[in-house]
Amino acid sequence: MSRSFWASILRTTVIASALVAAGCSCGADETPDEGASASLPAATTATVEGVIRLAEGAELPAYADNPMVSPQGRPALPDACTPPQQRDAQPVQLSDGGLVGVLVAMHDFGELPPSEPVTRDLTITDCRLTPQLVVAQRGDTLRLRNETDYPFMPDFGGGMMQALLHENDRELELAQGGVRSLGCGFTAPCGRAEIVTLYHPLHTVSGEAGRFRIENVPPGEGIRVSAWHPLFREVSERLDLEAGETATVELVLRPAPAPAAPEPAPERDPNVRSEDDPANVLF
C-alpha cells in the first residue's frame, strides 16, 4: 500500500483525536445497534457511491504463485476439495464491467464517525480462505471458521501455529492498523487472504459489477475516496461533500507493476577470495 494511503489515514486519526480532546461529543448521545457501526444523523452526513473499473486494455493481474498449489514437501489438497484454479491466483474479478473485491476507503475528513467494534468473518471453504479480502477497523475481531473436513494450520503470525479443526473457530483481535497476508503452513494450503485494518469505519469492498456505497461520511471540502488492492495501483478522487448529498464517482484501476526479478549473483572465481570469505578473517 502506498505511503500516501497510510499517511492520510494517520492524518484523519490525529484530527479526530484533537476533536475528542476539545470536548466534541461526535454522536455520543446515539445508541448504536449491537454489532454495527453507529451513524451520525442522516441530515449531517453525506454518501459516496460508485463503481470500480479496470483500465481499458489492461488485463486482470495475478499473484506470481498460485496460493492453492502445495509447495514442495507439503501435503496435497484433500481429494474432496476443488483442484487449484486460475481464479485462486486472481482475487479481483470482473463482473458486468466492474471490479469485484477492491478496497474502497475515505480519507482526509475532519470528524471521525462514532463506531462500535464488530466481528469480521472469514471461513476456510472448499480448502480456500473466503473472502480473499477482509477490511476492518482497528479494534474489530477477525473470526476464522474451518468449514472443510481437514485440520488446517492458519498462520496468524507470532511464530506459533495451531491446527484449526473442522467446524471450529478461532478469533483474533485486530489491534494494529496495517496489511497482513493470511495463509496456512505445514499442512495443505488454504489459499490466501489479505486482512486490511484501517483506523476508521468509512470503508467497504466493491461488490457485484464493481459497485460500492459508503454512508455516514462527514461533509467537507477535499475529502478523498480511494480504491486499492495489492495487485493494483492505488487511485483516488477528491470530493467536496455537503450534508445530505450523495456523490457518485467512477474509479479506474491499473495493475501494479510486477516486482523486479532479483539480479543473478555474479559467477565467482574459485581462485579469488572475496573480502567476506571466511578464509580472509584473521583469528
Give the whole-angstrom CA distance, residue 206 versus residue 220.
24
Residue identified by cell 503470525 is 157
Asked if residue 238 is part of any domain, the answer here is yes
Q: pLDDT at position 77, please?
A: 96
CB burial readout 57-91, b (16+ within 10 A) else e = eeebbbeeebbbeeeeeeeebeeebeebeeebbbb
End-to-end CA distance of the chain: 47
CATH label of the domain that carries residue 112: 2.60.40.420
Residue 136 lies in a domain: yes
Residue among 49, 70, 5 at smallest CA distance from 241:
49
In Å, what is the CA distance from 67 to each residue of 64, 87, 143, 161, 182? 9, 10, 21, 18, 11
Give 51-88 pLDDT, tens digit per residue: 999 999 999 999 999 999 999 999 999 999 999 999 99
Q: Which pLDDT score is estimated for 17?
A: 39
Assess if residue 91 is contained within a domain: yes
CA-to-CA dists, residue 14 to 3, 49, 202, 214, 244, angstroms: 16, 26, 16, 22, 26
Domains in the chain: how many in total? Answer: 1
Rounded distance between C-alpha atoms, residue 247 and residue 49, angstroms: 6
Please indicate, yes or no, if residue 277 is contained in any of the structural domains. Answer: no
The grid cell for 13 is: 486519526
Please choose, from the candidates 107, 142, 137, 140, the residue with its C-alpha nearest in 3D space to the C-alpha of residue 199. Answer: 137
Host domain of residue 112: 3-58+80-258
216 assigned to some structural domain = yes
What is the structure's pLDDT at 58? 97
CB 179 within 8 A of CB 160: no
Does the predicted model carry a pTM greater than 0.95? no
As a whole number of angstroms, the distance between CA 14 and CA 99 comes to 32
In a domain, 184, yes or no: yes
Please report whether residue 191 resides in a domain: yes
Could you tell me if residue 24 is inside a domain? yes
* pLDDT tens-digit readout, 241-278: 999 999 999 999 999 998 766 666 566 555 554 444 33
Q: What is the structure's pLDDT at 40? A: 52
Q: Mean pLDDT in each 10-residue stretch from start to end of the chain (283 residues)?
A: 48 40 35 43 86 98 97 95 98 98 97 91 99 98 98 86 95 96 96 98 98 97 98 98 98 90 60 43 28
| DSSP tag of 184 | B
- Helix (H) and strand (E) counts for the chain? 2, 16
Is 18 in contact with 99 (CB distance < 8 Å)? Answer: no
